[in-house]
């Protein structure tokens, strides 16, 4: 097909043209996508090192109220408090830095759970078809017709009431807030159906391709075909959807927290918004800056997702 690649090794070295190398070349040319990647990398950096950069320790540690003890409550942004202090007397800049890791935690873990369920359901439904597909898709639709925000709020409230809010558990040496984890799980449970449908559609498409038949003819079993042959072929779609799901999850958690249903003892960005909402006319900075943090992060993941989708779409390949 590609004559250039058919030439024997005369002179110049062979251009490596693996799927990912091609995608990366295409991605680099997409300015918006690269901007998204830069934003995402910056957010990840802050997520990891934010605790060390922040001038004040994280809420609810006593040190977090440093400005309060100095009488600096509701102080407008100045050289000392870059983004001002909020109604509780904590430094908004520090809160945002500390909150970054929670935003990433929400985004990444919701996406992992969502994708795990979606891939399992979508793959089985799309690959096996017939009544299996019917049953799984009807279940999926049940989730889709729920007014999901309402259910998320109810479930989060019910589960966080059962105690545990405020406590945290240890996961691989990292202290994870318990209440926030409940929010994350509930978000994921209501978030997988859309992605499951997408993955099912991809499976329906790929399972008809001839190489699936060829692999079957050479003795590959169902599990092998699903995971070793079809899944890698739709990995690009999954990556794109995953990056968009991260953005959506961060936004959704901020919404839930802002409505006052989040984990009150974990200072996520949405929680900062909620805490200062009633005094918004005075402490506008405690609303605007966390809002901007959410906006930039979500925007970054969206740009990245769009960039990836362009780079990985074989039909646009030049």
Partner 1 sequence: MTETLLKVEGLKTYFYTEAGIVKAVDGVSFDVRKGETLGLVGESGSGKTVTSLSVLRIVPKPGRIVEGKIELKGENLLAKSEKEMQSIRGREIAMIFQDPSSSLVPVYTVETQLRDVLSAHEKISKDDAHKKILDLMNLVGIPEAEIRMREFPHQFSGGMKQRVAIARALALEPELLFADEPTTALDVTIQAQVLDLLEDLKKKMGMSLVMITHDMGIIAKMTSRVVVMYAGNVAEIAKTDDLYYRPRHPYTALLLAAVPRLDRKKTLSIIPGNIPNLIEPPSGCRFHPRCEFATKKCEEAPPVLEEVEPDHFVACYEWKNITLKGETGKND
Residue 182 C-beta: closest distance to partner 1, Å? 38
* Minimum CB distance to partner 1 smaller for 70 or for 317: 317
Residue 226 and residue 286: Cα distance in Å, rounded? 49
Rg (CA), the chain: 23
Residue 23 C-beta: closest distance to partner 1, Å? 12
How far, in whole angstroms, is CA 311 from its chain's centroid?
A: 20
Residue 219 C-beta: closest distance to partner 1, Å? 4
* Minimum CB distance to partner 1 smaller for 210 or for 318: 210
Residue 236 C-beta: closest distance to partner 1, Å? 9
Q: How far is CA 77 from CA 54, 60, 150, in A?
A: 15, 22, 36
* Minimum CB distance to partner 1 smaller for 49 or for 211: 211
Residue 216 C-beta: closest distance to partner 1, Å? 5
Residue 70 C-beta: closest distance to partner 1, Å? 59
* Minimum CB distance to partner 1 smaller for 196 or for 234: 234
Long-range contacts of 257-260 (CB under 8 A, 24+ apart): 257/183, 259/153
List of residues contacting partner 1 (CB under 8 A) = 1-2, 5-6, 8-9, 14, 17-19, 129-130, 209-211, 213-221, 224, 228-229, 232-233, 235
* Minimum CB distance to partner 1 smaller for 8 or for 71: 8
* Minimum CB distance to partner 1 smaller for 14 or for 25: 14
Residue 235 and residue 169: Cα distance in Å, rounded? 33
**Nearest of 72, 65, 70 to residue 90 by alpha carbon:** 65
Residue 317 C-beta: closest distance to partner 1, Å? 10
* Contact (CB, 8 A) for 104 and 43: yes
Strand partners of residue 169: 176
| Tokens found for residue 109 | 């873990």
Residue 28 C-beta: closest distance to partner 1, Å? 20
* Contact (CB, 8 A) for 248 and 142: no
* Contact (CB, 8 A) for 243 and 301: yes
* Minimum CB distance to partner 1 smaller for 18 or for 62: 18
* Minimum CB distance to partner 1 smaller for 214 or for 296: 214
Residue 282 and residue 291: Cα distance in Å, rounded? 16
* Minimum CB distance to partner 1 smaller for 7 or for 28: 7
Strand partners of residue 171: 174
Burial class (CB in 10 A: 0-12, 13-18, 19+), 9: exposed
Residue 101 and residue 109: Cα distance in Å, rounded? 12
Residue 93 C-beta: closest distance to partner 1, Å? 45
Residue 53 CB: number of other CB atoms within 10 A? 13
* Contact (CB, 8 A) for 39 and 299: yes
């Amino acid at each position: 097909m590609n004559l250039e690649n058919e030439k024997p090794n005369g002179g110049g070295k062979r251009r490596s043209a693996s799927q990912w190398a091609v995608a990366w070349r295409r991605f680099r040319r997409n300015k918006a996508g690269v901007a998204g990647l830069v934003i995402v990398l910056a957010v990840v950096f802050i997520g990891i090192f934010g605790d060390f950069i922040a001038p004040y320790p994280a809420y609810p540690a006593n040190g977090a109220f440093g400005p309060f003890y100095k009488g600096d409550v509701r102080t407008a942004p100045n050289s000392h408090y870059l983004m001002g202090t909020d109604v509780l007397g904590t430094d908004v800049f520090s809160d945002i830095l500390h909150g970054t890791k929670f935003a990433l935690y929400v985004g990444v873990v919701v996406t992992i759970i969502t994708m795990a369920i979606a891939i399992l359901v979508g793959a089985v439904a799309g690959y096996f078809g017939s009544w299996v597909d019917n049953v799984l898709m009807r279940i999926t639709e049940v989730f889709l017709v729920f007014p999901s925000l309402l259910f998320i709020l109810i479930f989060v409230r019910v589960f966080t009431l059962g105690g545990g809010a405020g406590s945290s558990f240890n996961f691989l040496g990292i202290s994870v807030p318990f209440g926030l984890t409940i929010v994350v799980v509930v978000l994921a449970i209501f978030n997988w159906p859309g992605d499951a449908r997408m993955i099912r559609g991809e499976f329906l498409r790929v399972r008809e391709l001839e190489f699936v038949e060829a692999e079957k003819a050479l003795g590959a079993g169902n599990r092998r075909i699903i995971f070793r042959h079809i899944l890698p072929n739709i990995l690009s779609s999954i990556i794109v959807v995953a990056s968009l799901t991260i953005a959506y999850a961060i936004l959704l958690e901020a919404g839930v927290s802002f409505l006052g249903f989040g984990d009150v003892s974990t200072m996520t960005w949405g929680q900062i918004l909620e805490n200062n909402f009633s005094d918004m006319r005075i402490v506008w900075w405690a609303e605007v800056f966390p809002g901007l943090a959410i906006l930039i992060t979500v925007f970054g993941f969206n740009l990245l997702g769009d960039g990836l989708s362009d780079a990985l779409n074989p039909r646009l390949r030049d």
